[in-house]
Amino acid sequence: MPTGICGKVLWVDLSKETFEEEELPEKIYRQYLGGYGLATKLIYERMPPKTDALGADSIFGFFAGLLTGTVAPFSGRYMVAGKSPLTGTWGDANSGGTFGPEIKKCGYDAILFKGIASSPKYVALIDGNKEILDASDIWGLDIIEAELKLKEKHGNFIKTAGIGQAGENLSLISGIANDRGRIAARSGIGAVMGSKKLKILVLKGKEKLSMVNREIFMENVKWYNSKNKAKKPGFMVNMILKTIPKLSKTMRRFKIGMDTSPGNLIKHIYHKFGTTVSNTLSAEIGDSPVKNWGGVGQYDYPPKKSMDISALAIGKYVQKPYGCITCPIQCGAILKVPELNIEQTHRPEYETCCAFGTNLLNHDLLSIFELNELCNRATIDTISAGATVAFAIECFENGILTLEDTDGLELTWGNSKAIVELTKKMINREGIGDILADGCKKAAEKIGKGSEKYAIHSLGQEIAMHNPRMFKSLAYTYTFDPTPGRHTAASVDFLDLGPVEKFVPGFSLPKGWKKNVKKKMKGQMMTSCLQQTVNSLGLCMFSTLFGAYPLYELIESLTGWEMNVDEFLQIGWRIQTLRQAFSLREGIDIASNELPGRVTGHPPDEIGPMKGVTVEYKDFAEGVCKELGWNPENGVPLEETLKKLDIDFIIKDFY
């Protein structure tokens, strides 16, 4: 067995109800690391082109990052990957919590599924035993109810990841959840799991990863944690923290961003507020979409409304901090909401608060708590769900949908009761919810009547809750990344929010990239490569915010591999190119994709922080393609690029 990895993956055929272990050569891990890097290699080679994402030949799986299963800081994430039934492209999503390391504890770097079960099943890998078991008694339950029933049967120490009602109902905007609602949300992989009649994956293992040098590994972990451990801030820092959510107007007027905050303060901000620190700030400075991307936060959702869903308002319900396994910052929190009889729920993330709040002109905080809990339990993506509700409201406002269509729901901006009820209908595919359950693009195709102009998406996936007119490279990311529409894909402007050059020694964006567009193209290429490696290591995307990290030392003491920034970026280049090739092989014309004009400022806002601002992204995309060694006309990787990256096995698919 190679050191630092399990060296094998498990294939589960649900049609035949069989298990098969496959040993992989160490070279593959060196080339792809783990996570969705490993997924791109295995799924591209093993799944036939143009496979129905919801068919028996479709493959999806759970993939642990290279560092997942160790105590490396921020390393607790796992990825789900397969063909997205929502966009037809490569699909992936990741989640934190405590589930990821259990994949390694069961002795595997990944667990992949193919086929379709004859009836609802769950798969249990417990202490070396592998079983495909009947799930009829938990089918129809939400993910928390199902997990509790399985813990009664298998014990409290199991880890689970599975689908709720949205995934069972094959909602194309459903995800896969672990740890009481931590969701790998995007790309619609929950529908793939549901199509296979697979309810939950249950894991409990005892395997331990071997390391080349455990002593050095632990020394580096202790060094990093000693300077980054979440701790109580002092009096002055506490005063600053209490003030930050109230500074939205000031930050807008002086164009102050979160990236200007000192590194140590950022740690305290994320520990205390998590991503909800942006709820009011982003609405005011023009980052948050408002009124289905047709409004302006400064006027349509001003602080007198946005403060109702602020980090301070949410903080009143916090019971204790929550952190993913191995995280020294702990940006999550567990809430108690007596008004809703909710004893325990996760703090909603910024994306959820914006999708169901700012973008819907809804400032009813209790409704956002309820919606967050509903979506977590049903395993439906809050970004896509909220954006689809926004589409429905605008259709209602313009007479395309009527009260008869909505079963009497008054779909008006800010009507929190109607928003909650419509979301329930989407989860259960009831009435109009059946049409909306697959996202706004599919809904617009069914509704017609000009509704397409209100569907804000990229190749079928709803756009995330950050404005590319503020972070201009996001327009490229939303449009041309192999998994479109997501803010968690690579964006050089997003990466620049933290001192990434300290996180990855030797990494440096081109000098002057912010003012020189050609240098920015190079920077975006580098960012695309870096993002793939960070994800495939199993690291949180926020890990680059907090300064120096013993990245190479941890990899070398775990595996024995001596890496430098050049190899690190080449691995990411290989992964990104293979993700791109997958989407193209499936027949997706990524190069012709366009964002809705509302997103890019066509026409530009006449008032507010984004007044007169537009973002052009097609020329930029062509430049990034050239930097990546892809044909700028169609996005197809050049033959010499495929040879250079040692992925010439895909040449036959394009040449």
Residue 260 has pLDDT above 50, yes or no: no
Higher pLDDT, 92 or 250: 92
Q: What residue spans of 274-319 are helical by DSSP H?
A: 278-285, 297-300, 303-306, 311-315
CA dist 543 and 535 (Å) reads 11
Q: How are beta strands 121-126 and 318-322 bridged, if at all? A: unpaired
CA distances from 644 to 32, 356, 577, 579, 607 (A): 15, 45, 11, 16, 49
Per residue in 22-75, pLDDT tens?
999 999 999 999 999 999 999 999 999 999 999 999 999 999 999 999 999 999
Cβ contacts of 373-376, under 8 Å, gap ≥ 24: 373/181, 373/340, 373/342, 373/345, 374/420, 374/423, 374/424, 374/427, 375/183, 375/423, 375/427, 376/143, 376/144, 376/177, 376/180, 376/181, 376/183, 376/345, 376/346
The predicted structure's pLDDT at residue 247:
59
332, 346 contact by CB (below 8 A)? yes
pLDDT in tens, 263-282: 567 888 889 899 999 999 99
- Across the range 526-554, mean pLDDT stands at 95
Percent of the chain past pLDDT 70, that is, above it, reads 94
Q: What is the mean pLDDT of residues 297-325?
A: 95
Name the token pair of 488.
């968690």
How far, in Å, CA of 258 to CA of 285, rounded? 11
Domain ranges of the chain: 8-204, 217-462, 473-653
The class that CATH gives domain 217-462 is: mainly alpha
- Quote the CATH superfamily of domain 8-204: Aldehyde ferredoxin oxidoreductase, N-terminal domain (3.60.9.10)
- Record the tokens describing residue 136, joined without a space: 């009829």
Q: Is residue 259 pLDDT above 90, yes or no?
A: no
Residue range 414-441, pLDDT digits in tens: 999 999 999 999 999 999 999 999 999 9
Taking the CB of residue 505, how many other CB atoms lie within 10 A of it? Answer: 16
Give 230's pLDDT tier (boundaries 50, 70, 90): low
**Per-residue confidence at 496, pLDDT binned at 50, 70, 90?**
confident
d(CA 162, CA 149): 13
The answer to whether residues 6 and 107 touch, using CB atoms and an 8 Å cutoff, is yes
- Residue 254's pLDDT band (boundaries 50, 70, 90)? very low
Tokens of 27: 């070279």
Residue 231 confidence (pLDDT): 60
Check if the beta carbon of residue 433 is closer than 8 Å to that of residue 422: yes
Whether 180 shows a pLDDT value over 50: the answer reads yes
Q: What are the φ/ψ torsions at residue 633 (nearest 5 degrees)?
A: -80, -30
CB atoms within 10 A of CB 320: 11
CB–CB of 408/382 below 8 Å? no
* C-alpha dihedral (463, 467, 472, 475), degrees to nearest 10: 10
**Structure letter (DSSP) for residue 96:** -
- pLDDT exceeds cutoff 80 at 229: no
pLDDT (tens digit, 9 = 90+) per residue, 234-248? Answer: 655 566 556 666 655
587-637 confidence digits (pLDDT tens): 999 999 999 999 999 999 999 999 999 999 999 999 999 999 999 999 999
Q: Give the fold, CATH level 3, of 473-653.
A: 1.10.599
pLDDT of res. 82:
98
Mean pLDDT of 198-218: 97
pLDDT tens, residue by residue, 355-372:
999 999 999 999 999 999
Give the type of residue at 623: G
pLDDT tens by residue, 122-171: 999 999 999 999 999 999 999 999 999 999 999 999 999 999 999 999 99
Give the pTM. Answer: 0.96
Give the rounded distance of the alpha carbon of 497 from its chain centre: 18
The pLDDT of residue 251: 46
Binning pLDDT at 50, 70 and 90, where does residue 1 land?
A: low
Region at 576 (left for phi over 0; alpha for psi -120 to 50; beta for the rest): alpha
